[in-house]
């Protein structure tokens, strides 16, 4: 029996490649004609926007979370609903999303921990036509320090700003398990006519703004790019761009290259002819495999 193709993030990217001309249009990213047959659950009001289908019988299990980030500039939009993560648990989903997964026939516990990807687009207006950069990037590009550590450190800074000089605020934070879910809960105070809910927001550090022309010139205007964390790609010479078949062995041997090759073979082999591959160096989190194609063939 032949296994059905997986709705993995690599298959998802291959489908985006087929429709990449849309990304230069000045329309909402959420209105893009996404491959609905690959999506098991979606939300317009919370994280994530999409949960891909899973297939335990295929080499790629799929099931990744995908969040959309759209901006009318080359600055990544703020993270309002949840701090960016490389991996998140299925248990963190809302009940509505879980119900959608069950309704789609998904085994929620089949892949309990899911890789998180962000589909980031920035559009710059010009006198002639818009210039768009669209990147499907693994969450490790933004979560370079575990989310829990970031929240604890930020909370410690807040405490230190209001503490007396002789107070050791680290003793306070050392005994706290600070998670974003704690902030999201509504807090009620006896006798008060209002309730309080704290909100945690995150903005991308300028060093990790992959849309920046100065910091990441290899992500060119009017391109569709995929970035996958591949720590073993340490050779600095790999920063050159290569055609698909002419890539060095170090790139051809990495997981991301082979996973994308499998997806392209199942979706449309001819797409390999327009993709160039390289390695992008993250200033805080090492190398990322990069696959890129021009929006205009």
**Taking residues 230-234, what's their average pLDDT?**
91
Tokens for 10, please give them.
């690599």
Residue 1: its pLDDT value, please? Answer: 31
Q: Which residue has the tokens 């248990």?
A: 91
pLDDT digits (tens, 9 = 90+) for 122-131: 998 877 788 9
pLDDT digits (tens, 9 = 90+) for 3-56: 445 689 999 999 999 999 889 887 889 999 999 999 999 998 889 999 999 987
pLDDT band at residue 160 under the 50/70/90 scheme = confident
**What's the mean per-residue pLDDT of the chain?**
88
- DSSP state, residue 91: G
Residue 277: its pLDDT value, please? Answer: 97
Pairing of strands 223-229, 131-138: parallel
* Residue partners of 35: CB distance under 8 A and separation at least 6: 7, 12, 15
Residue 2: its pLDDT value, please? Answer: 39
Q: How far apart are CA 116 and CA 80, in angstroms?
A: 16
C-beta of residue 69 within 8 angstroms of C-beta of residue 122: no
C-beta of residue 27 within 8 angstroms of C-beta of residue 79: no
């Amino acid at each position: 029996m032949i296994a059905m193709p997986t709705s993995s993030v690599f298959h998802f990217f291959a489908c985006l490649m087929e429709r990449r001309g849309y990304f230069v249009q000045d329309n909402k990213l959420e209105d893009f004609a996404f491959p609905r047959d690959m999506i098991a659950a979606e939300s317009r009001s919370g994280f994530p926007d999409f949960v891909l289908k899973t297939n335990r019988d295929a080499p790629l299990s799929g099931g990744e979370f995908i969040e959309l980030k759209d901006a009318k500039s080359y600055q990544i939009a703020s993270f309002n609903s949840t701090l960016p993560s490389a991996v998140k648990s299925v248990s963190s989903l809302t009940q509505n999303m879980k119900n959608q997964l069950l309704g789609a026939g998904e085994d929620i516990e089949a892949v309990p921990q899911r890789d998180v990807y962000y589909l980031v687009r920035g559009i710059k207006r010009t006198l002639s036509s818009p210039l768009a950069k669209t990147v499907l990037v693994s969450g490790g590009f933004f979560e370079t320090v575990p989310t829990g550590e970031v929240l604890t450190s930020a909370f410690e800074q807040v405490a230190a700003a209001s503490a007396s000089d002789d107070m050791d605020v680290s003793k306070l934070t050392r005994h706290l398990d600070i998670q974003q879910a704690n902030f999201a809960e509504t807090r009620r105070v006896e006798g008060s006519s209002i309730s309080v809910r704290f909100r945690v927001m995150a903005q991308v550090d300028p060093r990790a703004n992959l849309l920046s022309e100065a910091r990441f010139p290899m992500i060119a205007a009017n391109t569709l790019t995929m970035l996958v964390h591949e720590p073993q790609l340490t050779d600095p010479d790999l920063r050159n761009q290569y055609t698909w078949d002419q890539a060095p062995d170090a790139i051809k041997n990495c997981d991301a290259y082979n996973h994308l090759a499998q997806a392209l073979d199942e979706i449309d082999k001819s797409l390999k002819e327009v993709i160039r591959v390289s390695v992008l160096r993250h200033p805080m989190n090492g190398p990322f495999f990069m696959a890129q194609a021009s929006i205009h063939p």
